[in-house]
């Protein structure tokens, strides 16, 4: 269970409303931003997740983006590309099923089982831990639905620790859906903050708000 969940949700809403644009001057630039924007552009050009996965270059850029997002550093070790690609393609039925169920207004309960299946099946890492890699990968594939997560910011902010367990993956994504629903109900104009840098959509803005609340600044 997320401690002080209501206060954390309120704080994130305030950041999205008042200062989420600050992320662009405080957070990463260089390869991590370039490959992120490149991946999202390729995904936007694909009509379905199956279309996206049918192009080897798209999977290669996805792989490079995860590397740029520290998934092959600090003790994390990704699979060799051939094995990574196989793992992605193996999950195509689950990804397609998730896409069929998931639209921006989908109640979280209707996609919980699909996300659980993806968490249990999408095996991208040589090193231990699945939550961070899977959340980032799913964010790149479904940027308007899934929030990316990491240990330093997301898990520390929500749970005050960095332990990765399946229940946290489901609960944190559910939390981001709750925030998104409240943003809409309060008529916070988050679309005015969408830009060509880090504020790509509401799930990423939730992530950006957490980063700003953690006051982590990296270049």
- Which pLDDT tens digits describe the chain residue by residue (219 residues)? 999 999 999 999 999 999 999 999 999 889 999 999 999 999 999 999 999 999 999 999 999 999 999 999 888 899 999 999 999 999 999 999 888 876 655 678 888 888 999 999 999 999 888 999 999 999 999 999 999 999 999 999 999 999 999 999 999 999 999 999 999 999 999 999 999 999 999 999 999 999 999 984 333
- Distances 62 to 36, 140, 165, 169, 214 between C-alpha atoms, Å: 8, 7, 24, 20, 27
Reported pTM: 0.94
**Residue 155: both structure tokens together:** 């898990």
Taking the C-alpha atoms of residue 74 and residue 56, their distance in angstroms, rounded to an integer, is 27
Taking the C-alpha atoms of residue 32 and residue 30, their distance in angstroms, rounded to an integer, is 6
Domain count for the chain: 1
Question: What pLDDT is stored for residue 43 in this prediction?
Answer: 97
Taking the C-alpha atoms of residue 180 and residue 166, their distance in angstroms, rounded to an integer, is 22
Asked whether residue 18 is assigned to any structural domain, the reply reads yes
Q: 69: closest CA among 172, 193, 154, 159?
A: 154
**Residue 26 CB coordination number (10 Å):** 15
Question: What pLDDT is stored for residue 217 in this prediction?
Answer: 37
Which residue range forms the structural domain that includes residue 63?
5-214
- Are the CB atoms for 215 and 23 separated by under 8 Å? no
Asked whether residue 126 is assigned to any structural domain, the reply reads yes
Asked whether residue 219 is assigned to any structural domain, the reply reads no
């Amino acid at each position: 269970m997320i401690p002080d969940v209501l206060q954390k949700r309120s704080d994130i809403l305030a950041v999205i409303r008042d200062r989420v644009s600050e992320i662009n001057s405080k957070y990463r630039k260089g390869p991590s931003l370039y490959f992120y924007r490149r991946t999202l552009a390729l995904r936007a050009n694909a009509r379905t997740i199956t279309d996206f996965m049918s192009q080897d270059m798209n999977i290669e850029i996805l792989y490079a983006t995860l590397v740029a997002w520290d998934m092959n550093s600090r003790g994390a070790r990704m699979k060799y590309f051939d094995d990574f690609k196989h793992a992605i393609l193996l999950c195509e039925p689950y990804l397609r099923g998730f896409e069929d169920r998931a639209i921006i207004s989908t109640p979280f309960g209707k996609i919980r089982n699909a996300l659980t299946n993806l968490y249990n099946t999408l095996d991208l890492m040589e090193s231990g831990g699945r939550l961070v890699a899977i959340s980032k990968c799913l964010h790149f594939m479904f940027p308007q639905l899934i929030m990316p997560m990491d240990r330093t910011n997301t898990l520390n902010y929500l749970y005050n620790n960095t332990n990765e367990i399946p229940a946290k993956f489901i609960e944190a994504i559910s939390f981001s859906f709750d925030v998104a629903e409240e943003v809409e109900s309060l008529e916070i104009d988050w679309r005015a903050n969408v830009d060509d840098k880090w504020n790509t959509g509401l799930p990423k803005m939730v992530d950006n708000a957490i980063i700003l609340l953690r006051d982590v600044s990296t270049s």
